[in-house]
Structure 1
């Protein structure tokens, strides 16, 4: 068997690649840090493409990021050996591959200097605008789209509920060949990196067509959201972009300045000071009378609720609880999704000396408290009733 393996053959194997090598270009690379900013990555994600155009997702564990980050560069071609081939993760996948690559401390990486001119450079699975509504809330796969830019916004800063500092935000309006329109919101460093002034200037006399990859379709106003996994290609010599230009009519609108919609996503100002209450006072509040009100309370976590698991299976579309149903899942809300991903559900008993109460933390909020993604803990603990040490450490 040849020492160099093509992805189409490699994807049928799920074991350590003893002695095998693959040659692939890094089409995309990004750091995943969860909801935190300016922290070491939990893992570094790669989209690899081989000479035949086959694509595969690869992951560098956070503990190995400092070792491999200086060795790798986006768009370069490398030979990889001594890696693992594992079942693909259940969520945030660039494409529906069955397997993924995971680099190990023993993985060898060598840059390839002589690369054929026809070696593929781009990887994407374009979704029609008319089909985007079916992807609202879907977290299993990222969404890739192509469209003509008809509007861009100035940079705005907003305060999100899960953040402790303001987050940069920029809005881009896209239109497809069927005149369907959608807005894409870029966040964080991506909002800063997108040169809206240059795009607006070019768009006064020329059409700007872009492919945006690694986005998610959000339920709020049905907008695309571009975070750390997002990347764009504007007016590049890519067949899909060239075909889009060929299909355009004689006239196209100039790119306009549009609103960043800061108020729609929350004020950039710090929230008003919440009234502080003891746990005893909180338990006396009538929820019907205090609907919509917020309070603060300082408690010590006395223990974990013994009656609840620290994670649950969440429907990939509506995020409600789901249960295993044969080889797929069935959503309790009755939606048509048959896939689910694990999510945090931390049930904590907190006390301040006046009384005790149960506080339930879900998803990102729980991850901020624990400090690690739920999938990381499940991988190491298995799907048992044991409490991971990272969660046990929350007590007291």
Structure 2
């Protein structure tokens, strides 16, 4: 659909920028994370109500007359990042609304997935994340995010267990909160980040806590055919003490509900809609 960027200025204000797909080739070579740029000739529009990644009400849209130039001399001092961290109460309000893609800080308690040491694998993996002293949620990592996290596990880098995730999509299922990764999800483990330092102080977490990894590469140990009703019953009656299970589902699409607009996720293999 296009390229989404975040622009942070010297006043510590952040705004959402968007480059439509038909202009991506014009500006792609100018985009470098962390660079200081001068931008002019753009269009300002109200930000869409769905999938917001900042609190700003407007978005900078790139048009044919837009110019972006990197500032190499006498550049202003600008922070390299700013986050939209939300607490558990706010995450629950946002769940299933698709209104906002917030950031979250937590302590990794466990990791589960298939082929965890293969950073080319993009299948779903689940991270159990403590985000409050008594609240643990499931973080589902997909596609590039799953691959990036596997790369960290492959390198044996488990020295830091408190992390900050960006742009997650909160969902409630069976009464449980799930945080799903998006294409904007990134991982930060730097203990000097104020958001991570505040979490460690508030929750009493240990940034170097060792967490367990469960690799399900051995495959499915039990195969059985169940109905959607059975799946719903399993999830609804599950809690932290019950075992988790992976399901493969074959179903027929009977209706696409257009009331919230239409969007798509491209295939990670062929990149088609």
Aligned to 1:210: 163
Q: Please report how far the alpha carbon of residue 267 of structure 1 lies from its aligned counterpart in structure 2 after TM superposition.
A: 2.3
Matched, 1:254 2:210: yes
Aligned to 2:81: 122
Q: Please report how far the alpha carbon of residue 78 of structure 1 lies from its aligned counterpart in structure 2 after TM superposition.
A: 0.9
Q: The residue matched to 1:222 in structure 2 has which SS?
A: strand
Matched, 1:172 2:131: no
Q: The residue matched to 1:105 in structure 2 has which SS?
A: coil
In 2: Cα distance, 1:123 partner to 1:295 partner: 42
Q: Does structure 2 retain, via aligned residues, the 8 Å contact 1:59–1:103?
A: yes
Post-superposition Cα deviations, 1:234-284, rounded to whole Å, max 9, x if no partner, equal 12531111223344548675211146799856429xx5xxxxxxxxxxxxx
Aligned to 1:197: 153
Q: The residue matched to 1:343 in structure 2 has which SS?
A: coil
Q: How many residues get paired?
A: 233
Of 27, 51, 61, the match for 1:92: 51
Of 215, 238, 241, the match for 2:193: 238
Aligned to 2:69: 110
Q: Does structure 1 retain, via aligned residues, the 8 Å contact 2:161–2:210?
A: no
Matched, 1:267 2:244: no
Q: Does structure 1 retain, via aligned residues, the 8 Å contact 2:51–2:99?
A: yes
Post-superposition Cα deviations, 1:342-361, rounded to whole Å, max 9, x if no partner, equal 325xxxxxxxxxxxxxxxxx
Matched, 1:54 2:13: yes
Gaps of at least 5 residues in structure 1 are 1-41, 158-165, 272-293, 297-309, 314-341, 345-362, 366-370, 373-396
Q: The residue matched to 2:85 in structure 1 has which SS?
A: coil
Aligned to 1:349: none
Hey, which bits of structure 1, 4+ residues long, moved more than 3 A?
114-118, 154-157, 245-253, 258-266, 310-313
Question: Alpha carbons of 1:76 and 1:192: their partners in 2 closer, same or farther (altered >3 Å)?
Answer: same
In 2: Cα distance, 1:103 partner to 1:81 partner: 9
Q: Does structure 1 retain, via aligned residues, the 8 Å contact 2:164–2:188?
A: yes
In 1: Cα distance, 2:252 partner to 2:211 partner: 44
Q: Does structure 1 retain, via aligned residues, the 8 Å contact 2:42–2:62?
A: yes
Question: Alpha carbons of 1:72 and 1:231: their partners in 2 closer, same or farther (altered >3 Å)?
Answer: same
Aligned to 2:136: 181
In 1: Cα distance, 2:47 partner to 2:100 partner: 11
Q: Does structure 2 retain, via aligned residues, the 8 Å contact 1:168–1:188?
A: yes
Matched, 1:343 2:261: yes
In 1: Cα distance, 2:122 partner to 2:160 partner: 30
Q: Please report how far the alpha carbon of residue 219 of structure 1 lies from its aligned counterpart in structure 2 after TM superposition.
A: 2.6
TM-score by length of 2: 0.72
Q: The residue matched to 1:254 in structure 2 has which SS?
A: coil
Q: Does structure 1 retain, via aligned residues, the 8 Å contact 2:168–2:185?
A: yes
Gaps of at least 5 residues in structure 2 are 221-243, 266-271
In 2: Cα distance, 1:256 partner to 1:115 partner: 48
Matched, 1:146 2:105: yes
Q: The residue matched to 1:171 in structure 2 has which SS?
A: strand
The structure richer in strand per residue is 1
Q: Please report how far the alpha carbon of residue 126 of structure 1 lies from its aligned counterpart in structure 2 after TM superposition.
A: 1.1
Matched, 1:71 2:30: yes
Q: The residue matched to 1:90 in structure 2 has which SS?
A: coil
Q: Does structure 2 retain, via aligned residues, the 8 Å contact 1:129–1:182?
A: no
